[in-house]
Structures are given as C-alpha cells and as structure tokens.
C-alpha cells in the first residue's frame, strides 16, 4: 500500500488568544498558523438578544482580524475563524466575569436553574466570503451552597469566563444536565467549525492521514 501523498494545506488563523479554543482546534487535528485576537467593544446593544449578540460579536471579531490579515502577505490565502460564547438566563446576557463579585452574582443566578449557552462561529475564506453558524446548548446547574460558591471563587477559574464559570474545569462538578454541544459550551463548536471549513474546501482530514 502506498502512503497518501501530502496535501498542501492553506494556513489557518484563529481570531482569539483563548487556550480553550486553540485546544479544541487541536482536538480536531487542526493547527492554527497564527493567532490574531480581535480587540473590539463587546458591550451588548440595548435590547439585544443573546443569540443576536453572539453572532454579531463573532462576526465583528472576524472582520477585525481579517483587516489585520490583509496587512500580512504571508497570511493572504488563509482561512480565518472567530468565535464568541454567551451565557444567558432568559434574555439576560451574563458578563465575562472580571471580578469575584461579578462571578458570585452569576453563580447565584445560575444555581439550581436552567440557562443557555450560545456559541457563534464566523469563518472568513481566503477570498473574503463569510460563513456563520450559531449553536445553542441548554444546561442546568445543581443548587449551589454558599460554601461551594466560595470555594469555586477561590480557584480563580471564573476570571474572564462568560457567566463566571468554565465547564471544562471544576465547575463541571456543578453540571446536572447538558443538552447540546459540549465543545460549544467550552468555546468552539467543533462539528459546525469543521463542517464549515470542509464545505469551503479546507482539507480538514489531511492531518489525520499524516498520523497514520
């Protein structure tokens, strides 16, 4: 049997500095050639729904990163992925907690009740076309005691996390039920991301053959 010939792979940009999103890409066998985190205003519009907000922010991150891509000739023919993850209770968008007080407020709100996580992905092709997908997951946390909240706050894992928690870390012990994509809750829905890349001609399976 002859080995599969190597396939020329276009470069892939992740418009994020998130180690979680990078690790998820790597889980699917994909390597980012460049990280271009986008610095944009993430303030929700008045009355904006969590769904619309997630899609808008992912798209704005992609647009900002694409402008940077255009200034790097070596990245001209690359694919670009941007994503945003939003935690909501009803129509209320929970913040990316930056203080222990914010995180505590989020955890008390999530305690014992169902909430939703919306994860949006924006893909910009080498020719500048944009493709977008939105994934919704429903989760329910156990009723949290004050001691459990205090202990979780002490870990610092809440810092910068939407809704004040990271499901892939110790907060996973609070999860009673999840309906939907686990990877979307972590920060990047793998099925949708890989499907969009494949649909645009990116050789998503080429690295898998290289491992044989």
CATH architecture of 12-210: Alpha-Beta Complex (3.90)
Is it the case that residue 189 has pLDDT exceeding 60?
yes
**Per residue in 151-171, is it b (16+ CB within 10 Å) or e — as a string?**
ebbeeebbbebbbbbbbbeeb
The tens digit of pLDDT for each residue in 82-128 reads 999 999 999 999 999 999 999 999 999 999 999 999 999 999 999 99
Residue 33 is given by DSSP the state S
Is it the case that residue 1 has pLDDT exceeding 60?
no
The reported pTM is 0.91
Residue 196 tokens, joined: 């969009």
Segments making up each domain of the chain, as ranges: 12-210
Is it the case that residue 212 has pLDDT exceeding 60?
no
Instruction: Determine whether 84 is an active site residue.
Output: yes
Q: Give the model's pLDDT for residue 182.
A: 97
Going by C-alpha positions, the residue among 174, 86, 101, 100 that lies closest to residue 134 is 86
The tens digit of pLDDT for each residue in 144-165 reads 999 999 999 999 999 999 999 9
């Amino acid at each position: 049997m002859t080995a599969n010939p190597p396939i020329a792979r276009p470069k892939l940009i992740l418009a994020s500095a998130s180690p979680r999103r990078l690790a998820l890409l790597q889980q699917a066998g994909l390597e980012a050639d460049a990280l271009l985190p986008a610095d944009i205003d993430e303030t929700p519009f008045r009355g904006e729904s969590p769904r619309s907000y997630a899609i808008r922010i992912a798209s704005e991150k992609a647009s900002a990163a694409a402008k940077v891509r255009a200034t790097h000739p070596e990245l001209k023919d690359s694919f670009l992925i941007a994503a945003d993850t939003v935690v909501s209770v009803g129509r209320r968008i929970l913040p990316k907690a930056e203080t222990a007080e914010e995180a505590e407020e989020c955890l008390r709100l999530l305690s014992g009740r169902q909430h939703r996580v919306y994860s949006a992905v924006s893909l910009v092709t080498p020719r500048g076309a944009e493709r977008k997908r939105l994934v919704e997951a429903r989760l329910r946390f156990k009723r949290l005691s004050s001691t459990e909240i205090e202990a979780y706050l002490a870990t610092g894992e809440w810092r910068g996390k939407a809704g004040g928690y990271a499901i892939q870390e110790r907060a996973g012990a609070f999860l009673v039920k999840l309906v939907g994509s686990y990877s979307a809750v972590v920060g990047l829905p793998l099925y949708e991301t890989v499907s969009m890349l494949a649909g645009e001609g990116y050789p998503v399976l080429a690295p898998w053959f290289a491992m044989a």
